[in-house]
Structure formats: structure tokens, C-alpha cells
């Protein structure tokens, strides 16, 4: 394995986590990082996340064997244009981590046509509610899908090379065409964000008529609108970068709503039952249940709403070396889940905990 | 407080939980239960959830001072019709626990017009993954909204009486007109169920074209479609029982989707940003956050990455009656201490906790 210089451009959550994972897997690599603002650079050097930092993109870029751009798509395209003007290393391998792929791959193919640079689009599909390099984590992408989109500027061996560089992300690499990536993420992510935001705006409009409405917004509504608090910068950009697929989903979905409306208008209860039954069956078969992006194991424990009950329950686990990721009290009973929710890192810990609770208390436990 | 005979008709999760709460608060009451099938009756007697069970509805009904119907709305209306043919006690108080209120209140007002029976619609807004009397829990409704809808068959004192009977549910009672209840729950619950089921059916249709789509359905999509696995029986019935409000929501929402589609078609990125920003701001202001993870008072405690450290820290809080909302271990790292994040409901609890940790350990604590 030859020593390489890797430039991480953009030191946020994604860039920082990629840098950590690359260093961890390839201690012989020289990892440099470009970031415009200083604080993330200082943090990254201090924490030894990278070997070198600078706000001079060109100076780092010309020394790099591999460049990974971690910006919104439009900004990454601007950086591609800058790169095309620089005396880059022969056969430099360029990738990105943006949420859409068609636009940037097309831009790269135009910008680098006839040049020796190689380009592979990338989309590591993981995130956190935390942001910034301070929250970066070499395990952020573990078990997450990491989509790689080849281009006319790449060959199979280039993909193998990039996967090797990124191997310690422990992500599941999947090759997709940029078009397929954008069509599928429109269905599973981009359009659902439009729906979540619309549900919130819709409820708010209605609450102008009946203010108590907002008090009843809990349980399912809460789950369905959580992502409506995502960054408007990011989501406006994604919509602008994947317009046709999202428009297609809006049309498809609006048709579905029109169909169910007709069923209600015509009081076709059997068909309405089928509609819900189909959804229930389909969802139960979706790989969604395996935790495609999150390998966490939840236990729900029905406990009385009393002080120190978490301490009591954790006491049952004492000495059993269980790895707990998260503990949540679902305070209002409007939640469909039980009251105390404990998230374990492994299925084995989940099982052991279930056993310990049943052995030591008469609380109901379910998964 | 006079001794009363309460008939719980329908011994499922809701009926069983109501029976438990009523007995708990009024040990002098005689609580009877009607259920068609035998197993729930046997369980309820065995577990002393109720004092008497029977599959003879009429026999129990004529002895009851209060009757609470726990069935799907149509079935409850059938039971109201049966009740109207029986020699009920003078001024019997009848209620229900169905998900919609306009239809049943209108039915009651017609069926009992000119009779001495009193009727108040009820909707305890709580649920569980589990079903059946076996999962019943006197705490099921604690802190949940319990909507009461007066009718022409009730007076304010009747509401006070019903609230007293139900006081040990520890629910938050709210009076709403049946129409307002159904209009608001259409926004926050019924229509979102239609959306969740449509999202699943939509993704499945698209996966016929691109099968890998289902693998990408995670994160936000998972949250948004969780309720699509609810009972089709229940949701088909709710749609049929609240058609106009749900149709109105479908129309409103379809208009919103058409608007955002136009913004995308016309590449109006500033307006798209506003759309997401509005949703983000509105949601952050919704009372949905009470008891949720998203805000309140955090303490971050630098703890060693060892098993049982959460139990140890919570031990310092024992007896201090602190209200903890959430506990999380932020990625423990080899070189750094793990950071334990504990979220409190009040600033006072946060302060007390900080003090207790500093008093009992040498862990660094910050806010």
C-alpha cells in the first residue's frame, strides 16, 4: 500500500468523520484538510484528526493524490472548477460527499473532460443531529450505505482504490448510477422531507382556526415531522439539485392522495381497509426493520412515572457490561411506545437486559 | 363519595386500563365488565382488574350507574341502540372511548332523545404497541390528553362527575365539541396516518422499477412511516367515521404540494428555502417538544468509558426527585473520556444534578 496524501476539503461532521476513518485505516497516509474558518482547523489539528490544515485550498490540492469535497453540491462544483485550473497531480482521484449525484457528476465530466483527473461521486448516507468537526466520529458511517457513482472519468480499479481508502469507515459500499441514486433518494429522503415540512405548515395553518390543534400534535405526528427541523439551507439546495425526481414524486403521491380521497368520498370501506392493510404488510417486509442506517437495539419498559426509576432499572444491569447508547423517557402517554426506552448497541445486550428486567421486576418489557 | 357500579363494556387495552384506573381511585366502586369472548373476562377477574364479568351485556347494563363503551365507533353505536331498549337506571351516565366523536355523539343524541340517560363522548389519547386486556395498565393515560365531548344529553355537573370517576387515570382532561375534536384529530392524527400509508405504498410502487429503493428507506423515512403498521381495521373505521375532515385535509395538503411543485418547476430557490425555514421554525415552537428530546436542560459529564457509569451517576441523584428526560452516551473514544449527556426537564433539576455530581465525583461537568 503506497503512502498517499488525502485532502479533505470542508471540515464539518462528514469531512471530519471521513478524515478520522481514513487515518485510522491508513496510519501511513498524510491527511490534510482545507477549511475556510479557523476553529475547525484548530480543533482538527489539536485532536490529531488530520496531519495538516490550511485555508489555502490550492496549496493543499496540488499536493494531493486524493481530494474529497465535503460541501453543498453547488459549492463542490465551484471547487471542481477551481481544481481544473490548478496543476494537480497526474491522475488525482476526486470524490465528494454530497446528497445528490447527477448534477455534480455531470459537472465533473464537463469540467475535467480530456484531463487526467479521475472522478467518482460519493454519498455516505449517515448523519447525526449534531454538526461540525467537533461531533465527527470515525464510526459515523459504520454499517451505513456509502453510495459510489462512477463517471466517464473513472474505471472499476478507481472504485476499488477509493473503497480501500475509505475501508475503515466500515460502511456498506454500493455502486449506483447518479441517475438511479437521485431517483431513489427522492423517494426515500427528499420527497419525505417535503412531506414533513408540509405537514407542519399544514397543521400550523389549521391551528390559526383552532389553536388547540397544536396540543394534539404528538405521537405519530411528532415522529412524522421530526425531520422538518432540518437545515433549510441543505434542503432547499437538495430540491434545486434534484428537481425532476422530486416533482415526479409529488405527482405520484398527489395521485395516491386523490385515489384515497375518492375512496373516502364514495365510502368504499373495503378498499380503504385494503389501502391500510397493504401499507402495513409492505412496511413490515421492508429492510427498514433491520436498521439499515442505525444498528441500534431498543427495549421499551413500562415503568411508573416516578423519580429514580431509571436508576432502579440500570441497577438490574449492574455488572453485566451492557453497552447502552441512549435512554429516553417517553413522558407523555400519547407516545405509542412504552415509557422508558433504552437503546443498546448489540442484540445480545438487548436480550440480556430484557432477561434481567423480567427477572428483577414485574415491569412489562417489549421490543 | 357514593358507591357506584361502573360497567366497562369491551375488555381490551383501553377498557382494561380504564377499569384498573377507576378501581385504583375508587376502591368502593363496583366495577363490572362485559366482553363477548371469555379469555379477557377470565384474565380480568383473575387479576382483580374488575369485580364482576359477564357476556350478558343487558344483565350488567341494567345494574350500572355508569357505562363506558370501548369499541370501534360503529359497534359502540350498536350498543347505544341496545341500551335504549333496556330498563336502565335513572340518569345512567354513558360514555365511550372511540377515536372520533361527532358520529357517536349525534347517534347518542338521537337514540336517547327524551330519555333520562346522560351521554358524554370520551377519547383518551393514549395507546401502546401491545393490545388486549393483558397489556392494560392503570398508568396508560397518565399525562395524556383525555378529550371529553359534552352533548345535549349532558350538563357541566355530569362532566365533573365523569372526571371524578376517571381521576385516577391521571390524564389531562380537555373539553371539546365533537366537531372540533374531529377536525383537529384529522390534522394531527387521521390525515398523517393516510400520509404514512401512502408513503409506504408509494415507495413500494417505485421499488418495482428500482428494487434497491427499499434498502435506502431508513432514518427519516422510517420515522415517518412507523404508524403505517397500525391496524387497518381501526384506521379504515376512523376514515369512514371522519370523512369530511380528512377529505378537507387531503385537499389542503394537495394544494401545499402543488405550491411547492410550482416553486421547484420555477426554480424559486429563495421561496423553497422559506418553505423549509417556516416549517423548521413552526415545529420548534410547537408544544410537541414538551417531553421530547429536542430541548430542555442538558448536562454533559465527562465520564470514563466503563460499564455501569450511568448507574453510578444516577445514584448521586437518588432521592432528589430529579426529572430526567433523556440520557445519552456521546461516542466514547479511546483517548478521550466519554461524555454522558443527561437532559433535565427544568433548570432547577439541571443545577441540582450539577451540584450532586461535583459533590460526589471528580467528573468534569459542563452545560
Domain boundaries, chain A: 5-176, 181-270, 297-366
Q: Say which of B140, B200, B273 has its CB closest to residue A232.
A: B273
Mean pLDDT per 10-residue section of chain A, whose length is 367 residues: 88 96 94 96 95 98 98 97 97 97 98 96 82 85 91 96 96 96 96 97 95 87 89 94 98 98 97 96 79 62 78 90 78 48 85 93 84
Please name the residue that has the C-alpha cell 412531506: A195
Give the pairing type, strands B297-303 and B338-344.
antiparallel
Predicted local distance difference test score (pLDDT) of residue A334: 39
Cβ of residue B218 closer than 8 Å to a chain A Cβ:
yes
Inter-chain contact A224–B223, Cβ cutoff 8 Å? yes
Q: Which residues pair with B326 in a beta bridge?
A: A328, B343
What is the average pLDDT score of chain B?
A: 90
Q: Say which of B193, B246, B292 has its CB closest to residue A222.
A: B292
Report the distance separating Cα B245 and Cα B266, nearest Å.
32
Report the distance separating Cα A57 and Cα A50, nearest Å.
15
Predicted local distance difference test score (pLDDT) of residue B358: 92
- pLDDT tens-digit map of B211-223: 999 999 877 898 8
Going edge to edge, which strands form the sheet with A52-54? A52-54, A30-34, A5-9, A66-69, A93-96, A118-124, A145-149, A172-175
Cα B143 → chain centroid: 10
Inter-chain contact A216–B189, Cβ cutoff 8 Å? yes
SS3 A115: coil
Give me the mean pLDDT over the B303-328 stretch.
83
Inter-chain contact A333–B141, Cβ cutoff 8 Å? yes
Fold annotation for A181-270? 6-phosphogluconate dehydrogenase C-terminal fold (1.10.3660)
B105 and B121 in contact (C-beta within 8 Å)? yes
User: Is the predicted pLDDT of residue B305 greater than 70, yes or no?
Assistant: no
Residues of B in contact with A221 (CB under 8 A): 188-189, 192, 288
Give me the mean pLDDT over the B291-303 stretch.
63
Predicted local distance difference test score (pLDDT) of residue B126: 81
Cα B98 → chain centroid: 12
Inter-chain contact A253–B202, Cβ cutoff 8 Å? yes
* Range B83-91 contact pairs with CB under 8 angstroms and sequence separation of 24 or more: B83/B111, B83/B117, B84/B111, B84/B112, B84/B115, B84/B117, B86/B58, B86/B61, B86/B62, B87/B62, B88/B61, B88/B62, B88/B64, B88/B117, B89/B62, B89/B63, B89/B64, B89/B65, B90/B116, B91/B116, B91/B117, B91/B118
B332 and B341 in contact (C-beta within 8 Å)? no
Domain B5-176 in CATH 3.40.50.720? yes
Neighbour count for residue B319 (Cβ, 10 Å): 10
Cβ of residue A139 closer than 8 Å to a chain B Cβ:
yes
Q: Determine which helix (DSSP H) or strand (DSSP E) holds B6, and give its type and residue range.
A: strand B5-9
Report the distance separating Cα B283 and Cα A224, nearest Å.
11
Q: Say which of B194, B198, B269 has its CB closest to residue A236.
A: B269
Domain A297-366 in CATH 3.90.230.10? no
Predicted local distance difference test score (pLDDT) of residue A192: 96
A246 and B264 in contact (C-beta within 8 Å)? yes
Q: Determine which helix (DSSP H) or strand (DSSP E) holds B148, and give its type and residue range.
A: strand B145-149
- Our CA-based measurement puts residue B6 at a distance from the nearest CA of chain A, in whole angstroms, of 24
Q: Determine which helix (DSSP H) or strand (DSSP E) holds A161, and give its type and residue range.
A: helix A156-165
- Our CA-based measurement puts residue A99 at a distance from the nearest CA of chain B, in whole angstroms, of 13
Residues of B in contact with A223 (CB under 8 A): 223-224, 226-227
- Our CA-based measurement puts residue B115 at a distance from the nearest CA of chain A, in whole angstroms, of 32
Inter-chain contact B279–A197, Cβ cutoff 8 Å? yes
Give me the mean pLDDT over the B98-114 stretch.
97
Tell which wins on pLDDT, A327 or B74.
Answer: B74
- Architecture per CATH, domain B181-285, reads as Orthogonal Bundle (1.10)
Cβ of residue A330 closer than 8 Å to a chain B Cβ:
yes
Cβ of residue A174 closer than 8 Å to a chain B Cβ:
yes
Q: C-alpha grid cell for residue A262? A: 375518492
A77, A255, A288, B286, B299 from B188: Cα distances, Å? 41, 22, 24, 12, 32
What would the DSSP string read from start to end of A217-234? --THHHHHHGGGGS-HHH
Scanning A266-285 for CB atoms below 8 A from B yields 267, 269, 272-280, 282-284
What would the DSSP string read from start to end of B53-96? EES-HHHHHTT-SEEEE-S-HHHHHHHHHHHHTS-PPTT-EEEE
- pLDDT tens-digit map of A129-155: 567 898 888 888 888 899 999 999 999
Q: Determine which helix (DSSP H) or strand (DSSP E) holds B111, and give its type and residue range.
A: helix B102-111
Report the distance separating Cα A6 and Cα A156, nearest Å.
20
Q: Residues 6 or more apart from A161 whose CB is under 8 A from it?
A: A93
- pLDDT tens-digit map of A25-61: 899 999 999 999 999 999 999 999 999 999 999 999 9
- pLDDT tens-digit map of B333-356: 333 345 788 888 778 889 999 999
A159, B84, B366 from B35: Cα distances, Å? 64, 19, 55
By C-alpha distance, the chain A residue nearest B287 is A215
Residues of B in contact with A210 (CB under 8 A): 180, 183-184
Amino acid at each position: 500500500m503506497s503512502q498517499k496524501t488525502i485532502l479533505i476539503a470542508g471540515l464539518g461532521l462528514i469531512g471530519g468523520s471521513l478524515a478520522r476513518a481514513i487515518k485510522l485505516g491508513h496510519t501511513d497516509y498524510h491527511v490534510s484538510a482545507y477549511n475556510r474558518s479557523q476553529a475547525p482547523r484548530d480543533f482538527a489539528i489539536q485532536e490529531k484528526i488530520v496531519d495538516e490544515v490550511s485555508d489555502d485550498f490550492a496549496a493543499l490540492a496540488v499536493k494531493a493524490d486524493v481530494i474529497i469535497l465535503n460541501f453543498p453540491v453547488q459549492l463542490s462544483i465551484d471547487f471542481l472548477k477551481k481544481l481544473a485550473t490548478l496543476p494537480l497531480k497526474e491522475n488525482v482521484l476526486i470524490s465528494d460527499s454530497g446528497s445528490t449525484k447527477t448534477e455534480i457528476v455531470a459537472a465533473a465530466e464537463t469540467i475535467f473532460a480530456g484531463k487526467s483527473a479521475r472522478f467518482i461521486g460519493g454519498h455516505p448516507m449517515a448523519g447525526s443531529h449534531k454538526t461540525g468537526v467537533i461531533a465527527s466520529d470515525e464510526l459515523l458511517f459504520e454499517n451505513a450505505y456509502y453510495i459510489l457513482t462512477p463517471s466517464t472519468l473513472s474505471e472499476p480499479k478507481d472504485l476499488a482504490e477509493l473503497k480501500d481508502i475509505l475501508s475503515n469507515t466500515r460502511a456498506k459500499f454500493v455502486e449506483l448510477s447518479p441517475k438511479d441514486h437521485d431517483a431513489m433518494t427522492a423517494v426515500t429522503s427528499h420527497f419525505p422531507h417535503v412531506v414533513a415540512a408540509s405537514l407542519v405548515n399544514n397543521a400550523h395553518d389549521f391551528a390559526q382556526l383552532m389553536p388547540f390543534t397544536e396540543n394534539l400534535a404528538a405521537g405519530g405526528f411528532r415522529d412524522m415531522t421530526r425531520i422538518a427541523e432540518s437545515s433549510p439551507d441543505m434542503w432547499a439546495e437538495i430540491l434545486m439539485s434534484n428537481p425532476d425526481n422530486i416533482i415526479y414524486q409529488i405527482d405520484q403521491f398527489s395521485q395516491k392522495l386523490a385515489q384515497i380521497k375518492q375512496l373516502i368520498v364514495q365510502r368504499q370501506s373495503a378498499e380503504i381497509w385494503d389501502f391500510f392493510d397493504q401499507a402495513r404488510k409492505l412496511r413490515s417486509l421492508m429492510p427498514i426493520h433491520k436498521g439499515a442506517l442505525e444498528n441500534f437495539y431498543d427495549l421499551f419498559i413500562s415503568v411508573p412515572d416516578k423519580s429514580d426509576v431509571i436508576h432502579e432499572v440500570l441497577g438490574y444491569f449492574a455488572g453485566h457490561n451492557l453497552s447502552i447508547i441512549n435512554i429516553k423517557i417517553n413522558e407523555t402517554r400519547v407516545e405509542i411506545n412504552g415509557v422508558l426506552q433504552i437503546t443498546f448497541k448489540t442484540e445480545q445486550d438487548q436480550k440480556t437486559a430484557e432477561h434481567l428486567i423480567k427477572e428483577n421486576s414485574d415491569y412489562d418489557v417489549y421490543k
